[in-house]
A and B are shown apart, each in its own frame.
Chain A
Amino acid sequence: MTSTPHESARSHVSGEAEYIDDRPFTHGELHVGLVLSPVARGSLNAVHFEAAAKVPGVAGIFTAKDIAHNMWGSIFADQPFLVEREILYAGEVIAVIAAESVHALEAARRLVQLDISPVEPILTLDQAIARREFIGPERHIERGKVDEALKAAPHRLKGTLEIAGQDHFYLESQACVVYPREDRQLEIHSSSQHPSEVQHLVAHALGLKFHQVVCVVKRMGGAFGGKESQAAPFAVYASLVASRLNRPARLILSKDDDMRITGKRNPFKNFYEVGFDNKGKILALKANLYSDGGAYADLSTAIMERAMLHTDNAYFIPNFSVSGQVCRTHTAPNTAFRGFGGPKGVVTIESIIEDIAAQLKLDPLDVRQANVYAEGQTTPYGQTIDDAVLPDLFAKLRRSAEYDQRRQEIEQHNQESSSTYRGLSMTAVKFGISFTTRFLNQGSALVNIHLDGTIQVSTGATEMGQGVNTKIAQVVADAFSIPVSDVRVMPTSTEKNANTSATAASSGADINGQAALNACLNLRTELAKVAQEVLKRSPDSRGRKAAAAGTVGEIAIDGLPEAQNIVFKSGHVFDYRKPDQRLKFADLVNEAYLNRIPLSASGFFRYPGIFFNKETGQGKPFFYFTNGVALSEVSADRLTGEIKVLRADVLMDLGRPLNHGIDQGQVTGGFIQGMGWLTTENLFYDKGVLLSCSPSTYKIPSVHDVPREFNCSLLENPRNDRNLRGSKTAGEPPLLLAISVWTAIKNALTFARKGVSPNLGVPATQEKVFFQLPRGDDGGLHEETL
């Protein structure tokens, strides 16, 4: 299938695409660097920067006292931009240095002396839970009578699942450049998913009004949630330099510094008890989720809400009680990461189902299909499932990927092979689309039609590679039936669309695309009226010459009814009853201009009908769900535990996809990114200091980790009419389908352990898998392996 290429594809491959650090240096521009805490917790007694300040080329060194308002936070304002006294994590920013060259900057950074009295840090969730070091209130979602149902259930399982964090590893590290403009204005170019928050926080930190600050985002070299809240502090540091020294200032983090300073996917520790019947039907689930928020709140409370809202995942659980509590440790404040809590809820229930199947000696897929949501059932938080495609998806993939035959082959292989165990597992995702905080679900757009018939559109969405700008360009082009090459999506800027939400929650194209479409529809309605009137006139009474001569009267469309017979088709506009009398779109635009009809419009959109009461845990938080299933097959080396993903099949319902190529890329990319979280990505700390802070020690999947056979298909679902042109967003959901790889590893190890499902944490590193393999008492090889 051919689809419109990514709007930046040609500049990506030619090297022309401009990122922050590709901007030419301007006169007097300074390099900005940061001084970080080397310890996880302590009291900052003094900063000695006399020696650093003497390094030739150092232009300024700034600390907390140079900031007008030092506290910030996207939900609670609990985090300082710069440490005042209390240090709460290793990598926390203490001072900002500005220098004429990178060389001087690095020399100065080495010479800053920190006088710190270290304090014993809290570094694990267990410690934080024991000491009740909590952030925000405990939240609950409940339905039915869980304790009674558990007691009455024929079978019960109890367990704990430990889930580690994940670094975003966007290729472009945090970056921004700030240009001071006249009258204390600042122009910020930031690699941010949330330009409005950057604008607001810079103004807040520096004591400026919002209208003195503009934030522009052309594109990001990847973000994945890591630049939702956490791009802003870096813009503050650069803005501090730019405004205090009145010189342009550029802050480009090294990958090592980026990984030390910024937060990760929240680690979780989930305690659960589940009751089920002989067929594996879940009767009751009780789960207590604890997440590691790190040192500050950031977005962790909202992330916890989404984890709780996804602990049911694809499965109807009549009696349900889940609690969620964010904990504080002395690590970098954890933050949004593709899936935003969802993966931690989903991996828990999918793990539970593997364990149920192992206990009952049932096929895990049969157990899943026995529990999957049917049309009309409600979730524990009270939302009705009214587009239940999951039963269909399970059945289709079971058939098309030859599940039953392969299950048999694997049973046989595991009996016979002396080299590997194999595992097979299908999991699902039912991802709720909308911010769970209702007011964030709004978007705006500005559409300008130029006199040659080309269009510039600006929205609040930011482009991080996901192709939102391509989709918006397509929607706008299709609204007027003009070539997509005649539409350009302009850099996101707070001066064109204000008070925007972060491009997050997979909602970027939905919300901003619909806002752009709404603007286009308004313009099209007016242009159709103009067309109707123009077509009534003879060709020689049209055009600039006649208008300039003042020999024809002006077309007035105020009060005219909608021109329902006018159609826009292939760059032309005409009355469908007289298709031979047509106007070129550009000529119509000219006529509109000459008759003083506006050619610019703004558009707005909000997801309708959503609400969620966080205190009661009830509501209809999601505009719709994006659903999918995946089947993964893995092999585990019987001796070394080395894992290979032999095959993965993904089937997703994306409604009527806006751009097949882009959505397919979201699916493969999300899946592999999820695999990294679940297998090789291992954050390694020593006394709270992150040691795996670069790709030589932190291993995201490489090209060799792609499943040897990898089939991704999108199921057309023409029933979906709720969202932008019947599409469903892809963004986050495919990441959660990689959980099938992890459950397949569990499945393989279940064979190794004679039917006992292992308590395998996330990630399933080779070391963890290795220690789940049977082995002799003295560490030698288990005799059965011989």
Chain B
Amino acid sequence: MSKVRDFILLYVNGQRHEVRGPEVFQNLSSYLRYSRGITGTKVVCAEGDCGACTVMVARAHTKPQAPAPPEYESLNSCIAPVFLLDNCSIVTVEGLGDSAGLSEIQDSMVRNFGGQCGFCTPGFVMSLANLYEHPQDVTPQKVKNHLTGNLCRCTGYTPIIQAALDVDPAKHRPLALRYPTNPLMKLVTESADKEVRIISEGQSLYAPISLGQACRYKAENPDTRIFSSATDLGVQINKGKIQMRKAMSLQLIPELFRCERVGQKVHIGAKVSLTSVQNFLGPLVPAFAEFLNIFASPQIKNVATLVGNLANASPIADTIPPLMTLDTQIILAGVGGTRTVPIDKFFLGYKKLDLRPDEIIQALEFQIPDLDRTRMGFYKTSQRRDLDISCINAGFSLEIENGQIKSARIAYGGVAPTTIRLAHIEKALVGRAFKKAELLHFARQISSSIQPISDVRGSAEFRREMAARLFEKFIIENSGAEA
């Protein structure tokens, strides 16, 4: 029988709080604004798309690898339930300055006219704090990458970029120095054997400390929902599409944070954030890591997981085409042990998974591709290039041997109820010479073999033709010298 904790432990701007009762199930932004009365953190879209609610968070967890003090990263507080901030130190815009006045980042924003109406400003300031938390050469491109998740309607961003570049690093003090996270680590280690159970007003939270417990609970409570990082569930709750009743959090299970190379394979646990995945895959599957640059925002990627994107099973999930072209294996943990399902068998229909009532996705594994003979390309089309849900996305991977295609994998999202592989095209490509003239005409077969629909992100006709065009783009970009 494990020991039980009945509160969520967090720090806000250095002050310790034990959160109990209904506040556990609130959004962090509501908790900050209405329970703690600090209103600098703003809410605009309540769906993680504008960044006005950005705060910095250091998360302590019992890592399977060598423990190190947690580092501060940004997240969207409007879609994060308080219980997911267990064992976290949170810094809001109110925590940046000190008795001497504004922080250097804030002062630079003042100097450079970084705010106009001011409503987005706290979020931008926090994203800049994220940029400057780790020492690095700050370039305009890095600034933009760190501000992908923040919308401003007044300034045209130009003065904010200027403010970011004008920060004097010598005057900047990282949050890790101002709000040390060591005490947090100590607490986490001390309470590593305590699961969390909280029940309040028809809502409950269970945070087990082992996968076995989690599977048993899921089997016994078919109405439970796993909240991994809530970057999608949080949106649905805010929009009234689902109600939060019985929540389970997996964040106290150390093995789910495993992210490592095992021989020629990679293993990515269910709780590994997309930011970590992106860093990890950089040298191993560069095309995938680069593609993640135009996926979501830092605030989302710092908490959202690769497994979460997969489990959400959206037909336009941007990571699924790459995972399909990598022949990813999905490891499912159940009460009776684990089983492995190949990714193209995992999606049974629209948002329907091959997942039994007791099963939880534990990890993903795939072979590291041989970069010398594999051509990979991942594409998406959206109304706006950055931080936009795809209209259509695609993944291509061709294994080339002696100028011929040895194997091919083609996956499309946004053209069917699930992401699909085009097996007949793949088959037809095998044995062909890797030359533009040999391959481009397959584009027409691609567009004639899909039946997309029209919706808010694009018409069926656009999707059909764009599917062909993305294939052509891949071929042209990769076979330039071999035309």
Contacts and interface: CB of A to CB of B under 8 A. Distances in A.
Contact of B93 (A6, A14, A639, A701): A14
A254 B436 CA distance: 51
A222 B117 contact: yes
A481 interface: no
B350 to A, nearest CB: 18
A14 B117 contact: no
A14 B115 contact: no
Contacts of A680: 383-384
B472 A171 contact: no
A710 B456 contact: no
Contact of B117 (A173, A464, A786): A464
B386 A704 contact: yes
A704 B50 contact: no
Using C-beta atoms within 8 Å of the partner chain, give the interface range for chain B.
35 or more
Nearest to B297: A702
Given A10-B102, A13-B125, A14-B94, A171 B44 contact: yes
A668 B46 contact: no
Given A15-B41, A171-B44, A222-B153, A9 B109 contact: yes
Contacts of B34: 25
A781 B469 contact: yes
B386 A664 contact: no
Using C-beta atoms within 8 Å of the partner chain, give the interface range for chain A.
35 or more
A279 to B, nearest CB: 36
Contacts of A106: 240
B115 A6 contact: yes
A363 B444 CA distance: 38
Please indicate which of the listed interface residues B37, B93, B117, B389 has the most CB atoms of chain A within 10 Å of its own CB: B117
Interface in B288-326: none
B109 A702 contact: no
B154 A703 contact: no
Contacts of B93: 13-15
Interface string B17-57: 00000000000000001100111111011110110100000
A682 B119 CA distance: 23
B121 A12 contact: yes
A535 interface: no
A255 B44 contact: yes
A670 interface: yes
B113 A642 contact: no
A691 B52 CA distance: 22
Nearest to B469: A639
B19 to A, nearest CB: 18
A318 interface: no
A665 B155 contact: yes
B384 A640 contact: no
Interface in B129-144: 143-144
B50 A695 contact: yes
B385 A704 contact: yes
A777 to B, nearest CB: 11
Contacts of A695: 44-45, 47, 49-50, 151
A10 B103 CA distance: 11
B385 to A, nearest CB: 6
Contacts of A771: 462
Given A668-B159, A704-B386, A781-B440, A15 B113 contact: no
B161 A706 contact: yes
B239 interface: yes
B381 interface: yes
Nearest to A763: B383
Contact of B115 (A9, A684, A770): A9
A697 B114 CA distance: 26
B117 A219 contact: yes
B110 interface: yes
Chain B interface main SS type = loop
B118 A219 contact: yes
A106 B119 CA distance: 25
B47 to A, nearest CB: 5
A430 to B, nearest CB: 21
Nearest to A775: B465
B462 A770 contact: yes
Contact of A780 (B41, B102, B157, B441): B441
Given A775-B465, A781-B472, A256 B239 contact: yes
Interface stretch (A16-24, A132-140, A431-439): A16-24
Contacts of B155: 665, 668-669, 672
B62 to A, nearest CB: 33
Please indicate which of the listed interface residues A19, A224, A254, A780 has the most CB atoms of chain B within 10 Å of its own CB: A780
B443 A171 contact: no
A699 B388 contact: yes
Contact of B97 (A14, A642, A684, A706): A14
B263 interface: no
B74 to A, nearest CB: 14
A703 B150 contact: yes
Contacts of B109: 9, 12-13
B156 A668 contact: yes
Contacts of B154: 222, 465, 665, 669
Contacts of B111: 5
A127 to B, nearest CB: 20
A684 to B, nearest CB: 4
A170 B113 contact: no
Interface string B331-370: 0000000000000000000000000000000000000000
A696 interface: yes
A780 B444 contact: yes
A779 to B, nearest CB: 5
Contact of A692 (B50, B92, B148, B456): B456
Contacts of A172: 42, 44, 117, 119
A659 to B, nearest CB: 9
Given A15-B41, A669-B155, A781-B440, A221 B476 contact: no
Given A670-B156, A671-B156, A695-B47, A13 B110 contact: yes
Contacts of A514: none
Nearest to A106: B240
A640 B160 CA distance: 31
A474 interface: no
Contact of B384 (A6, A702, A779): A702
Please indicate which of the listed interface residues A24, A254, A781 has the most CB atoms of chain B within 10 Å of its own CB: A781
A235 interface: no
A278 interface: no
Contacts of B49: 694-696
A765 B120 CA distance: 26
Nearest to B480: A418
Contact of A13 (B114, B240, B472): B114
A100 interface: no
B414 interface: no
Interface string B426-453: 0000000000100011011001000000
Given A640-B470, A705-B384, A779-B447, 9 more contacts: A14-B40, A172-B44, A224-B153, A639-B473, A669-B153, A669-B155, A692-B456, A775-B465, A780-B447
| 9 closest A-B pairs by CB | A15-B40, A465-B117, A221-B119, A12-B118, A672-B156, A465-B116, A668-B156, A15-B93, A171-B119
Interface of B: 33-34, 37-42, 44-47, 49-50, 52, 92-94, 96-97, 102, 106-107, 109-122, 125, 143-144, 147-148, 150-161, 235, 239-240, 381-389, 436, 440-441, 443-444, 447, 456-459, 462, 464-466, 468-470, 472-473, 476
16 contacts: A6-B116, A9-B113, A12-B115, A13-B106, A13-B114, A13-B115, A19-B42, A110-B240, A168-B153, A640-B470, A704-B385, A705-B384, A767-B459, A770-B466, A779-B464, A781-B440
Interface of A: 5-6, 8-19, 21-22, 24-25, 106, 110, 168-173, 219-224, 254-256, 418, 464-467, 639-640, 642, 661-662, 664-665, 667-673, 680, 682, 684, 691-692, 694-697, 699-706, 710, 712, 765-767, 770-771, 775, 778-781, 786
